[in-house]
Structure 1
């Protein structure tokens, strides 16, 4: 969620336990202005908080001209000092999946190790090791890929392929906000091109360039409710417990935040 509206936005997601102390809010509102200036971001968002055993990780995300591809994630342990997270690679994802287990420690330099026995003529042992900082980067990447949400029409794609905020977006109507197909994943589309031509013919190419939540597998991985005296639409991810999205119908106000353990709910298919 945009840090400019952070105090206002947090009130809408407080019912999910997404809260910050007064000290944390004050520090964020000051430090993120400095981060935005130093890194020359066009926008900066407070992404959320991953809970650790020793310390919690506060995560922010800066965006440039292209909101989808030109973005960088940063983390802090005190809401004041911020460090860039490393770029995620396929090799890093594999290392994290092999080595990192259990809760986050809250120590970026902590090293996870996992030994795998191999037998090729003679017994060998391969060791996978990865720092918690890399694990944090991969976790943020996975959550963005699988649970980041925007309302239909909140972003537009230009003829050059640039994805930018839609300044004319006035919000979904209340009836539109009650349907999951009007909310989209804010990532590069994965299933869009598989749609039949008659379906594509009804789209508006400038705004229908993202995958919709209603087609997520498994079905039922999102909870949609109206809260705050039925004024606010709230979406909660059951795949990444702690991810909460809000949208105020008939206004451009929307955003999401993650506050949780940073662990995927792998039992979801068996719970539905």
Structure 2
């Protein structure tokens, strides 16, 4: 078995990899064919011609991993801090969420930079701590209901499952700094979710 590094995800790779639907083949050198309309000529003589694009499965895999990271990677509130210079680092004082807070979806954040910041009222902003509330909360995700929050083994482990990326599971043991996530899925985004809720 040969292990190789994947290329870094760029915006172009992510856009190119999202056009292919269906399950992965398992061969990184496999090429998918995708037709794209292209305008040829200028003025009144212009016409559209279909051009065949070849997209490698390796490129599609990079795009899928980047999208899963962007839309489903989760951390508990307070696990990371942002200093006044804007540097984000692991919070050495994080001792876990209390059980009462772990029951709320608002206590869990996306571990990605804020893309579309939610506009908050002054009253909401008064309750926020800028050093730990700099990430997007899962409670504002669209469509509403795209996360399943459950307690397992009584109140000893909280488990979050993404319904958008089926197979993405996050866990946190309340009152301890233990948390993590794993994705075991098909690599297909559940675009039918708004119709299922």
1:241 to 158, 161, 166: 166
Aligned to 2:6: 85
Unaligned runs of 5+ in 2: 41-45
Q: Which structure: larger Rg?
A: 2
Cα distance, 1:192 vs structure 2: 3.2
Could you report, residue by residue, the CA deviation over 1:195-250 in whole angstroms, capped at 9, with x for unpaired residues?
Answer: 22332232111101000001111000010111124310000000000000000000
Which residue in 1 is equivalent to 2:125? Answer: 200
Q: Distance in 2 between matches of 1:193 and 1:117?
A: 36
Do 1:148 and 1:185's aligned partners in 2 also have CA atoms closer than 8 Å? yes
Distance 1:195 1:83, change over 3 A: farther
Do the aligned partners of 2:38 and 2:49 also contact (CA within 8 Å) in 1?
yes
Q: Show the counterpart of 1:226.
A: 151
CA pair 193-241 structure 1, distance change in 2 beyond 3 A = closer
Q: Secondary structure of 1:92's partner? A: helix
**Equivalent residues in 2 for 1:156-235, closer than 5 Å:** 156-192=81-117, 194-235=119-160
Unaligned runs of 5+ in 1: 1-77
1:116 is matched with which residue? 36
The yes-or-no answer on 1:253 pairing with 2:178 is: yes
User: How far did residue 183 of structure 1 move?
Assistant: 0.5
In the alignment of these two chains, the number of paired residues is 192
Deviations, residues 2-29 of structure 1 (Å, cap 9, x unaligned): xxxxxxxxxxxxxxxxxxxxxxxxxxxx
Q: Match of 2:69?
A: 144
Q: Which has the higher helix share?
A: 1
Alpha carbons 2:14, 2:64 under 8 Å: kept: no
Secondary structure, aligned partner of 1:101: coil
Does the 8 Å CA contact 1:246/1:254 hold for their aligned counterparts? yes
* Alignment partner, residue 54 of structure 1: none
Matches of 1:197 and 1:84 in 2, distance apart? Answer: 46
Alignment of 1:16-31 (within 5 A): none
Using the size of structure 1 for normalisation, the TM-score is: 0.67
Distance in 2 (CA, whole Å) between partners of 1:158 and 1:204 is 12
Alignment of 1:8-47 (within 5 A): none
Q: Secondary structure at the match of 1:170?
A: coil
Structure 1 262/204 Cα, relative in aligned 2: closer, same or farther at 3 Å?
same
Are the aligned partners of 1:192 and 1:209 in contact in 2 as well (CA < 8 Å)?
no
TM-score normalised to the size of structure 2? 0.90
